[in-house]
Amino acid sequence: MDEELERICMNCQSYYPDRLDEPTEFGICLNDSDFEPYIDELLEKQNFDCCKELIARKKFDGNKEVCQDFEMVEIKEDPILEQELEELAKNDNINEETVEEIFLAYSLRSRSVEEYATKLESPSSEVRLKAIETLAGFTSFKNEEASELLINFFRNIPPPKTLQEVHSKIKVFGFVNRREFRKELVPVLVKDLYNTSSNNTTRQWITEIFRFFQICSIEDIREPLEKMLKEKRFSYRIKNKIKEILEEPVSFW
């Protein structure tokens, strides 16, 4: 893992293979502005059909000499990668295709998310949502930087007051509501309940929060929910929802 890689396009942070269904030496450059509208589809969903004609026109041999924008892909010590390679060797399943799949997963797991941190600050809700969607994709590959950025972004979204804010927060929550984030989300959503006015406008968001609590481990939610039962600020309806969750068996995904 400490070996210095050759300075060719294939070893650049911005290089992406032109296909994933079989080994290939051809790829595209994600720094090419023509690919910007398709980056989320390519990286998160691995959907090459969204711009296959553009890929066919722009693809090049990854062994070519680098340009001035070359940035060496960062190879870090990665126990997951090493374990996966060891498993392949143990099962005599090492070939070009399996190794390429593992290294693609590694590249997404170790990919820098700095550009998406910038996009999360965009005034455009569409740009922010696309960045969130891509970060969720990286999170699926155990990209720790993406996970941290995603959960911190959601943590800092204020309680919704308008219907537009409710719908926006529910959309973001759809990407953040992941099993690995569940324990971290509990205090965030409890805090939201304390700070969100209960009315017809916010009802959808409050319902979403309680739907989340229904799939949580009872050990993670019992203490904060029991505390909420003693608070005068919460309505009879909300307290009934809390009681139902605390009394009923918990269902898991």
Per-residue confidence at 71, pLDDT binned at 50, 70, 90? confident
Query: Is the same domain home to 18 and 93?
Result: yes
Q: Rounded distance, CA 169 to CA 207, Å?
A: 13
Q: pLDDT exceeding 70 applies to what percent of the chain? A: 80
Residue 76 lies inside a defined structural domain of this protein: yes
Tokens of 240: 């009934």
What CA–CA distance (Å, rounded) separates 49 from 241?
A: 45
Full strand arrangement of the beta sheet holding 60-61: 15-17, 26-29, 60-61
Last residue of a domain, one of 110, 133, 158: 110
Indicate whether 240 belongs to any domain. Answer: yes
In a domain, 170, yes or no: yes
**Number of domain units in the chain:** 2
- The answer as to whether 77 is a domain residue is yes
Structure tokens at 29: 């450059």
**Domain end marker among 110, 143, 172:** 110
Whether the per-residue pLDDT at 95 is higher than 90: the answer is no
Whether residues 94 and 186 share a domain: the answer is no
Token pair of 101, please? 């799949």
**Structural domain of 182:** 114-247
Query: Are 90 and 156 members of one domain?
Result: no
Per-residue pLDDT of 11-64, as tens digits, reads 888 888 888 666 678 999 999 999 988 988 887 777 888 999 999 999 999 888
Dihedrals phi, psi of 21, to nearest 5 degrees:
-80, -10
CA distance 137 to 47: 13
* 253 within domain boundaries: no
pTM over 0.75? The answer is: no
Q: Is 79 found in the same domain as 63?
A: yes
Residue 183 belongs to a domain: yes
Average pLDDT, the chain: 84
Structure tokens at 19: 């296909």
In this structure, the answer to whether residues 124 and 104 fall within a common structural domain is no
pLDDT in tens, 127-173: 899 899 889 888 888 888 999 999 999 999 999 999 999 999 999 99
Give the integer Cα–Cα distance in Å for 7 and 32: 19
Looking at residue 47, what is its pLDDT?
82
